[in-house]
Amino acid sequence: MAARKTKSGGIAETIRTVVYAVLIAVGIRSFAYEPFNIPSESMLPTLLVGDYLFVSKFTYGYSRYSLPFGLPLIPGRVLEGTPERGDVIVFKLPRDNSTDYIKRVIGLPGDRVQVKGGILYLNGQAVPRRQIGDYEHKDDYGQKRRDRQYVETLPNGKSYRILERTDEADTDNTIEYLVPAGHYFMMGDNRDNSTDSRVRPDHGGVGYVPSVNLVGRADFLFFSHNGEARFWEIWNWPFAIRYERMFSTVK
């Protein structure tokens, strides 16, 4: 009998340990940091396909989308923090409220945003961009590309690199957008290869992003690989890792 009690107690203790571990993991993921990976080239050259990063959930406060499966347990947004122009943010796509997108905040509530000839305008003023060396990379088909690269500097002094294939694409010449209260205007750094707030939701785009849809700010990379090693090619794994990107901040 004593032996059976000990065995039963051991199983119960194991279950409790697993439950505690799960609750701690869910708590960290919901209220501190959540990992995400980058599947597309829309944020080149800042973020590469195969980057893995941590997003801080506490930076902008919490909403239902801070919780697993978007459980409607938090009304609106609590402990709300204000994004700054230039922050890189993960958010829920407004037209389905489930797909995770990652873009850069360009327009704050009340801002007027427009793109003319590839030049970004905020509140009627052109945002300076300075051309630097071309950016070489492989596209989605494995072909080598060379795109023009610029350093763009927002009015708050935030600078980052952007890519442009042309200044004549549809998204390089837009109407003037007025960002509604409680919403944000997002753009990808790979300007001609990004579906973002320049494209209306009914045309398959993002549109304005409500503050409740913000998940968190992309803070730092913890892993990155170039995708050239298949899962079973263990011997190639070390050569596919981008060691220089690991533990770097997202700027």
pLDDT means per 10 residues in the chain (251 residues)? Answer: 53 69 63 90 96 96 88 88 97 95 98 97 98 88 88 98 94 97 98 96 95 97 91 86 96 91
Residue 48 sits in the same domain as residue 20 = no
What total number of domains does the chain contain? Answer: 2
Are the C-beta atoms of 36 and 90 separated by less than 8 Å?
yes
26 and 123 assigned to the same domain = no
- Contact between residue 78 and residue 66 where contact means Cβ atoms under 8 Å apart: no
45 and 109: one domain? yes
Q: Are residues 90 and 192 in the same domain?
A: yes
Q: Does 50 share its domain with 107? A: yes
Residue 67 shares a structural domain with residue 188:
yes
> Angle at CA 79, nearest 5°, toward 76 and 82?
90
Q: What's the pLDDT score for residue 141?
A: 72
Is residue 154 in some structural domain?
yes
Q: Is 114 part of a structural domain of the chain?
A: yes
Q: Rounded to whole angstroms, how far apart are CA atoms 63 and 226?
A: 34
Q: Are 61 and 216 in contact (CB under 8 A)?
A: no
Q: Give the pLDDT score at 30.
A: 66
Mark whether 170 and 51 lie in a shared domain.
yes
Q: What is the pTM of this model?
A: 0.88
Q: Is 211 found in the same domain as 170?
A: yes
Domain containing 219 equals 32-245
- On whether both 93 and 117 belong to a single domain, the answer is yes
- Cβ-contact 54, 220 below 8 angstroms: yes
Contact 219, 90 (CB under 8 A): no
For 139, phi then psi, to 5°, come to -85, -170
131 occurs within a structural domain? yes
Specify whether 123 is located in the same domain as 233.
Answer: yes
C-alpha to C-alpha distance for 181 and 184, rounded to whole angstroms: 8
Considering the domain architecture, whether residues 154 and 206 belong to the same structural domain is answered as yes
Same domain, 156 and 192: yes
Among this protein's residues, is 63 annotated catalytic? no
66, 103, 197, 211: which is the annotated catalytic residue?
A: 103
Query: Is residue 251 situated within a structural domain?
Result: no
Catalytic residue, candidates 42, 194, 197, 211: 42
Kindly state whether residue 250 falls inside one of the protein's structural domains.
no
Q: Are 177 and 185 in contact (CB under 8 A)?
A: yes
> Is 103 among the catalytic positions?
yes
- Measured distance CA(61)–CA(251) in Å, rounded: 21
d(CA 85, CA 105): 5
The pLDDT assigned to 5 comes to 46
Asked if residue 129 is part of any domain, the answer here is yes
CATH number at residue 215: 2.10.109.10
Alpha helical stretches, state H, the chain:
2-31, 237-240
pLDDT at 18: 67
Distance CA 181, CA 49 (A): 33
